[in-house]
Amino acid sequence: MTMKAVAILSKPSKPELSEIIPPLAEWLAQREYSVIFDQQTAMYVDGSRGVERAKLAAMQPEFAIVLGGDGTLLSASRALAPADIPILAVNLGSLGFLTEVPLEDMYSTLEKVIACHCPVDARTMLACDMIRDGEILHSYSALNDVVANKSAIARLVGFDLSIDGRFVFGYKADGVIVATPTGSTAYSLAAGGPVVMPTVGAFQVTPVCPHSLTHRPVVVPETSTISITIRSSGEAAFLTIDGQVGQPLKDGDQIVCRKAAHAVHLLQTSQSFFQVLRDKLKWGERE
């Protein structure tokens, strides 16, 4: 009989993990699960060897446990989503919009996961191609957002925006954000974009500090193809995926975004999206 497998991924250099990981691995073993660790997590378990995150999906775990903050979950999502591996995100960070399960509820939530009593929330991802001279140089997927912005030099960069091949407008700004509904509460929110429920089939295009105040965020259907052409006039610009990976951009480069073929499957608690907003953004209760 083949044992079921669970992957455990964690945030690097979290001292408390030395007290969390070993008993968690033992708890799972008692329930007849083999445990696969990423390289950041294996160091906390004697005699364990870690696996590169990019190779975890090929090992086909039944689900994955991510211990950390939203940044850890974003990295794990890009690695695991193509294989439709559900993720239980346990919050060891500060804000934790996505890692909503508190550490004290980890084991009780795991009991629900094992009993198949834990709801699964599918989150849309973005697929992004970076194109130069008609050639795709890099392809990425993003759970939160795709961002093109200026480098450290305090000069504006030009952007031409097209939706489904139709020119929308050109403008100069510090940057432009293409966000999923999940990413609407991240950088896009800080730049003045709307809060969008995760179930809404839409993407947001949010300018960052545009030179003209008439350029506002645009919400488009998730079936749209969003194209951004860089008009840098020699100024340095940069493409960033989920705030974690990216590439320098040159004048004339294109960033083409569309709905990804796969989604992130998050194992959720019973909290509503608006309860999370009240908890994380400190929105007031009814008077």
What are the pLDDT digits (tens) for 182-226? Answer: 999 999 999 999 999 999 999 999 999 988 777 899 999 999 999
The two three-digit tokens of residue 149, written as one number? 């912005």
Q: How far apart, in whole angstroms, are the C-alpha atoms of residue 104 and residue 27? A: 15
E strand intervals along 157-275 = 157-163, 166-173, 175-179, 202-208, 218-221, 226-231, 237-241, 245-249, 254-267
Residue 237 contacts residue 151 (beta carbons within 8 Å): yes
Q: How far apart, in whole angstroms, are the C-alpha atoms of residue 55 and residue 156? A: 39
Of all residues in the chain, the percent with pLDDT exceeding 70 is 95
Q: How far apart, in whole angstroms, are the C-alpha atoms of residue 100 and residue 118? A: 14
Please name each of the domains of the chain with its CATH number: 4-119+268-281 (3.40.50.10330), 125-260 (2.60.200.30)
Give the pLDDT of residue 154.
63
Give the pLDDT of residue 99.
80
Count Cα neighbours of 7 within 13 Å in the Cβ-side half-sphere: 30
Average pLDDT value for the chain:
91
Give the pLDDT of residue 2.
62
Residue 111 CB neighbour total at 10 angstroms: 12
- Find the helix or strand (DSSP H, E) in which 12 lies: none
* Overall average pLDDT of the 143-151 stretch: 93
First-to-last alpha carbon distance for the chain, in angstroms, is: 57
Residue 253 pLDDT greater than 70, yes or no? yes
Residue 259 CB neighbour total at 10 angstroms: 18
Give the position of tokens 């951004």.
228
What are the pLDDT digits (tens) for 7-36? Answer: 999 998 888 999 999 999 999 999 999 999
Residue 154 CB neighbour total at 10 angstroms: 7
* Overall average pLDDT of the 111-126 stretch: 92
Pairing of strands 63-68, 145-150: unpaired
Give the predicted TM-score (pTM) of the model.
Answer: 0.91
Q: How far apart, in whole angstroms, are the C-alpha atoms of residue 164 and residue 92? A: 40
Give the position of tokens 């995760």.
198
- Judged by phi (left if over 0) then psi (alpha if -120 to 50, else beta), residue 9 lies in beta
| Active site residues per annotation | 70
